[in-house]
């Protein structure tokens, strides 16, 4: 049977193209589609929460980071399933099906017409959409996290030992597909979201923005299954993480059982496991625990890093994205990160780090990671400075004990306000006096039409218009009803409700019977206007329309976010890539998956910290929250630098060889030979291992 299996694998590996197994082309296309699906959905997710489900900024941020945290916890589950039960191939198939169902469920949850019975463009049953979207996100997290540790390793299984060059190239192309999928999807899905679609009412096209990633995930699954007959499929070999957990658990239990002073102390608490477990395994776990101890402060970096897709995207909605030649959507700013990654990684590796080394500076991996954390902190200081500039352009909104009143006087008489009694009087004969009640914490406009006896209050919007749109309304000073393009008919002396219009030039046609004229206005981002239509509107061909600016447009440009993206990406290159290289160099060869699980957990914990701060912090100013996060990371980086100072770099292969020799597992000469071969292999495989873990 074993001979038949080997012959079957040999036949499969003979199917090659340009020296590579044909099966890897299916895997590469699968990865591109899957990454496009994941990053495309994630790019617009926080805006879906904010503007479709109408959650506030804090809740939208919390749920976003809870989802990301789950995506970084489920890879541990996927690795255990693949290595201990189903094998990598079946795990990828089954969890990809779960993944695809999740994406389709998420896309369906964004169709507002499903529950929009009154056809006003807003869902009537938000509970249905929330429940469906939460189910979709849980399934997506299980799918994307579960297959994460399997796909790259499964691709590596397709190569034979003599194909080390092709294997290295495969991982390079694989990593390129991840970045290409991330970059393209982050550019495309925000454009799809900005379109308008709907069966009964036209709204922002979230079904298309989520539907395309769902379709790509289905394509990814179909492509992967199509190559089934060409794959080399290895059986489950047992999960090292499970062995490590059992050994640690036994050591703790045994130590607790022998806590009395009559039992002799052990050099290390893991030595309490030597009654049941091999000394080599215990020594390897000791090495791993030293590295995992250094991981304790690391979640704080991810706390800041992953806010690119939440807080920073919401910040971009209060800015202007007009770059002249093109208009950038707020969620498209996230593309700056993958673009800078592809640029900075080779620059750092080939220029900056070698230059520092030539200057005689000992820029060790742990020092690089500390500097990377400080760069991330500076990124949030930069974000805070940008937020302060944004806040300067915001209106002075009233507090809960204040009211704001604006008067629009179309009547040609002077108004005399009485501030004490909140009574208003007009210099008419006889004098017209009227009392109004103001709303605490509200903004109102008193409209005095050509017939002052019917003056009335109109409530104004109390916040910036959503998604950088512009809120506009018209006050009809014409003597009869007016029909305005895309608006309901406005009665004489009445005001229309606010209508949201996007940036760019907009044309409005006013009609009454056979009389008509056209009014054009170019809008920016995030402004609010009241347009007064005088009685002379048709005789002046709409030129007499008066514009009142209720709220200034966004004037802070999205380009000001580029420095914070540059700083956070520089921090990522120094922290993330270096951290993986350090972890691999310090871990036993068979324990690298344990460290990968630990590394992913730091990312998950970092996102949970954001969730806690967003829900419990409730700082009055957003810039203060940015400064808080920056301060926390600086404090953590100081702690990490102290821990790094006392850390001693080791050679795991040497320690393993010494223990094997003590146990008489291998002769000394054979041990030396093994070490030499391991050192040779390490030089060839280190790059591909780092890439695989980065993936």
Do 340 and 567 meet the contact criterion of CB atoms below 8 Å apart?
A: no
What stretch of H or E contains 436? none
What is the spatial distance between Cα 349 and Cα 292, in angstroms, rounded to a whole number?
25
User: Six-digit token pair at 417?
Assistant: 């306000």
What CATH code is carried by the domain that includes residue 96? 1.20.1250.20
Within a domain: 437: yes
Regarding predicted confidence, which is higher, 619 or 132? 132
**Same-domain pairing of 138 and 159:** yes
DSSP string computed for 501-554: E-SEEEEEEEEETTEEEEEEEEE-SS-EEEEEE-TTTTTTTTTT-EEEEEEPPP
Q: Three-state SS for 407?
A: strand
Distance of CA 187 to the CA centre of its chain: 14
> Which residues neighbour 605 within 8 Å (Cβ) at sequence distance 6 or greater?
69, 299, 302
Q: Nearest 5 degrees, angle CA 668-CA 670-CA 673? A: 110
**Same-domain pairing of 453 and 369:** no
Q: Which pTM was predicted?
A: 0.85
Query: Looking at 495, 516, 551, which one is the last position of a domain?
Result: 551
Per-residue pLDDT, 15: 63
Within a domain: 288: no
Query: Looking at 551, 570, 585, which one is the last position of a domain?
Result: 551
**Same-domain pairing of 171 and 232:** yes
User: Six-digit token pair at 583?
Assistant: 């972890």
**Same-domain pairing of 340 and 425:** no
Average pLDDT of the residues in 170-194: 88
**Same-domain pairing of 205 and 259:** no
Strand-pair partners of 530:
473, 548
Do 449 and 410 meet the contact criterion of CB atoms below 8 Å apart?
A: yes
Per-residue pLDDT, 683: 47
Question: In which domain, by residue range, is 614 found?
Answer: 304-395+556-650
Average pLDDT of the residues in 393-404: 85
Within a domain: 10: no
| Confidence check: pLDDT of 519 > 90 | yes
| Confidence check: pLDDT of 494 > 70 | yes
Average pLDDT of the residues in 288-300: 93
Within a domain: 576: yes
**Same-domain pairing of 445 and 346:** no
| Confidence check: pLDDT of 30 > 80 | yes
**Same-domain pairing of 46 and 127:** yes
Per-residue pLDDT, 429: 65
**Same-domain pairing of 624 and 664:** no
Per-residue pLDDT, 44: 95
What is the spatial distance between Cα 470 and Cα 528, in angstroms, rounded to a whole number?
6
Least confident of 15-24, 223-232, 343-352: 15-24
Q: Is 400 exposed, middle or buried (0-12, 13-18, 19+ CB in 10 A)?
A: exposed
Q: What is the mean pLDDT of the chain?
A: 86
Per-residue pLDDT, 691: 46
Do 26 and 224 meet the contact criterion of CB atoms below 8 Å apart?
A: yes
Do 142 and 74 meet the contact criterion of CB atoms below 8 Å apart?
A: yes
Do 549 and 473 meet the contact criterion of CB atoms below 8 Å apart?
A: no
Average pLDDT of the residues in 523-545: 91
Per-residue pLDDT, 418: 59
| Confidence check: pLDDT of 42 > 70 | yes
Within a domain: 31: yes
How confident is the model over 439-471, as pLDDT tens digits?
888 888 888 887 777 888 888 888 888 888 899
> Which residues neighbour 500 within 8 Å (Cβ) at sequence distance 6 or greater?
465, 466, 469, 470, 471
How confident is the model over 122-169, as pLDDT tens digits?
899 999 999 999 999 999 999 999 998 888 889 888 888 777 778 777
Question: What would you measure as the largest C-alpha separation in the chain, in angstroms?
Answer: 116
Which of 8-12, 65-69, 114-118, 486-490 has maximum average pLDDT? 65-69
* Pairing mode of beta strands 504-512, 515-523: antiparallel
CB atoms within 10 A of CB 253: 12
What is the spatial distance between Cα 575 and Cα 298, in angstroms, rounded to a whole number?
9
User: Six-digit token pair at 575?
Assistant: 């922290």
Q: Nearest 5 degrees, angle CA 214-CA 468-CA 613? A: 75
Do 412 and 425 meet the contact criterion of CB atoms below 8 Å apart?
A: no
Do 26 and 226 meet the contact criterion of CB atoms below 8 Å apart?
A: yes
> Which residues neighbour 389 within 8 Å (Cβ) at sequence distance 6 or greater?
556, 560
Within a domain: 412: yes
pLDDT above 70 covers a percentage of the chain that reads: 90
- DSSP 8-state class, residue 163: -
CA distances, 286 to each of 219, 362, 586, 588 (Å): 44, 27, 11, 10
Specify the length of the chain in residues.
695
**Same-domain pairing of 54 and 144:** yes
What is the spatial distance between Cα 256 and Cα 643, in angstroms, rounded to a whole number?
28
What is the spatial distance between Cα 592 and Cα 284, in angstroms, rounded to a whole number?
11
Which of 94-103, 421-430, 515-524, 585-594 has maximum average pLDDT? 94-103
| Confidence check: pLDDT of 410 > 60 | yes
Within a domain: 564: yes
**Same-domain pairing of 205 and 56:** yes
Within a domain: 535: yes
Q: Considering only CA atoms, which of 593, 591, 589, 594 is closest in space to residue 653?
A: 589
Average pLDDT of the residues in 79-92: 89
Query: Sorting pLDDT into bands at 50, 70 and 90, what band is 307?
Result: very high
DSSP string computed for 233-275: -PPP---HHHHHHHHHHHHHHHHHHT-STTSPPPSSGGGGGTT
3-state DSSP: the chain helix, strand, coil percent, rounded to 5? 60, 10, 25
Per-residue pLDDT, 588: 83
Average pLDDT of the residues in 582-604: 82
Average pLDDT of the residues in 685-692: 48
Count: domains in the chain? 5
Q: Is the dihedral of CA 596, 601, 602, 604 positive or negative?
A: positive
Query: Sorting pLDDT into bands at 50, 70 and 90, what band is 422?
Result: low
Packing angle between helix 206-226 and helix 88-109, nearest 10 degrees? 160
> Which residues neighbour 216 within 8 Å (Cβ) at sequence distance 6 or greater?
33, 34, 36, 37, 40
pLDDT above 90 covers a percentage of the chain that reads: 45
Please compute Rg for the chain using Cα positions.
32
Per-residue pLDDT, 689: 47
Q: Three-state SS for 86?
A: helix
What is the spatial distance between Cα 444 and Cα 404, in angstroms, rounded to a whole number?
6
| Confidence check: pLDDT of 648 > 50 | yes
CA distances, 37 to each of 96, 255, 504, 535, 552 (Å): 12, 48, 30, 55, 37
Q: Three-state SS for 579?
A: helix
Q: Is 118 exposed, middle or buried (0-12, 13-18, 19+ CB in 10 A)?
A: exposed
CA distances, 409 to each of 127, 405, 453, 475, 545 (Å): 44, 13, 13, 11, 14
Per-residue pLDDT, 263: 82
Per-residue pLDDT, 578: 84
CB atoms within 10 A of CB 547: 11
**Same-domain pairing of 517 and 575:** no
Per-residue pLDDT, 679: 47
What is the spatial distance between Cα 139 and Cα 217, in angstroms, rounded to a whole number?
13
Query: Looking at 236, 259, 292, which one is the last position of a domain?
Result: 236
Per-residue pLDDT, 693: 44
User: Six-digit token pair at 319?
Assistant: 């800015």
**Same-domain pairing of 59 and 161:** yes
Average pLDDT of the residues in 538-565: 93
């Amino acid at each position: 049977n074993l001979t038949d299996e080997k012959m079957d694998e040999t036949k499969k590996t003979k199917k090659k193209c340009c020296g590579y197994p044909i099966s890897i082309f299916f895997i590469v296309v699968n990865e591109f589609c899957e990454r496009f699906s994941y990053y495309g959905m994630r790019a617009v997710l926080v805006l879906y929460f904010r503007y479709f489900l109408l959650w506030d900024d804090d809740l939208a941020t919390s749920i976003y980071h809870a989802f990301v945290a789950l995506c970084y916890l489920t890879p541990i589950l996927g690795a255990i399933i693949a290595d201990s039960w189903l094998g990598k191939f079946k795990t990828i198939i089954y969890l990809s099906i779960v993944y695809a169902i999740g994406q389709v469920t998420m896309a369906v949850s964004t169709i507002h017409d499903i529950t929009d019975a009154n056809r006003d463009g807003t869902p009537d049953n938000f509970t249905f959409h929330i429940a469906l979207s939460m189910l979709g996100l849980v399934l997506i997290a299980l799918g994307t996290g579960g297959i994460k540790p399997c796909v790259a390793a499964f691709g590596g299984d397709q190569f034979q030992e003599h194909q080390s060059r092709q294997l290295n190239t495969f991982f390079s192309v694989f990593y390129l597909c991840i970045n290409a999928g991330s970059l393209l999807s982050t550019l495309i899905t925000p454009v799809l979201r900005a379109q308008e679609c709907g069966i009964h009412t036209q709204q922002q096209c979230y079904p298309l923005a989520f539907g395309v990633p769902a379709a790509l995930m289905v394509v990814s699954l179909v492509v992967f299954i199509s190559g089934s007959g060409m794959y080399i499929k290895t059986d489950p070999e047992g999960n090292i993480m499970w062995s490590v957990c059992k050994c640690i658990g036994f050591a703790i239990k045994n130590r607790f059982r022998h806590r009395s002073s009559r039992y002799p102390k052990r050099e290390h608490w893991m030595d309490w496991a030597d009654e049941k477990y091999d000394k080599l395994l215990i020594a390897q776990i000791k090495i791993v625990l030293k590295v995992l101890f250094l991981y304790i402060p690391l979640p704080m970096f991810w706390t800041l890093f992953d806010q690119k897709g939440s807080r920073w995207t919401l910040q971009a909605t209060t800015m202007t994205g007009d770059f002249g030649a093109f208009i950038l959507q707020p969620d498209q700013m996230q593309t700056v990160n993958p673009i800078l990654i592809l640029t900075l990684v080779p620059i750092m590796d080939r220029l900056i780090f070698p230059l520092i080394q030539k200057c005689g500076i000992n820029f060790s991996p742990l020092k690089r990671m500390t500097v990377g954390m400080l760069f991330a902190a500076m990124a949030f200081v930069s974000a805070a400075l940008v937020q302060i500039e944004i806040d300067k352009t915001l209106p002075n909104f009233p507090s809960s004990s204040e009211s704001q009143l604006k008067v629009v006087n179309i009547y040609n008489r002077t108004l005399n306000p009485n501030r004490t009694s909140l009574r208003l009087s007009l210099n008419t004969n006889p004098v017209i006096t009227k009392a109004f009640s103001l709303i605490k914490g509200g903004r109102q406009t008193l409209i005095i039409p050509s017939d002052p006896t019917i003056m009335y209050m109109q409530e104004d919007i109390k916040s910036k218009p959503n998604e950088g749109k512009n809120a506009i309304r018209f006050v009809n000073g014409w003597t009869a009803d007016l029909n305005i393009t895309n608006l309901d008919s406005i009665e004489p002396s009445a005001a229309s409700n606010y209508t949201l219009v996007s940036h760019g030039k907009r044309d409005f046609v006013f009609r009454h019977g056979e009389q008509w004229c056209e009014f054009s206005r170019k809008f920016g981002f995030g402004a609010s206007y009241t347009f007064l239509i005088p009685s002379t509107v048709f005789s002046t061909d709409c030129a007499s329309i008066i514009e009142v600016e209720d709220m200034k447009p966004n004037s802070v440009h999205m380009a000001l976010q580029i420095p914070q993206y540059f700083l956070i990406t520089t921090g990522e290159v120094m922290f993330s890539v270096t951290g993986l290289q350090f972890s691999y160099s310090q871990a036993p060869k068979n324990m690298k998956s344990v460290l990968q699980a630990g590394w992913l957990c730091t990312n998950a914990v970092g996102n949970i910290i954001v969730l806690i701060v967003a829900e419990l912090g409730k700082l009055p100013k957003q810039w203060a929250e940015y400064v808080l996060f920056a301060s926390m990371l600086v404090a953590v980086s100081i702690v990490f630098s102290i821990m790094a100072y006392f850390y001693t770099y080791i050679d795991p292969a040497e320690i393993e060889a010494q223990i094997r020799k003590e146990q008489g597992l291998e002769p000394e000469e054979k041990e030396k030979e093994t070490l030499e071969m391991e050192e040779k292999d390490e030089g060839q495989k280190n790059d591909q291992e780092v890439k695989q873990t980065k993936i």
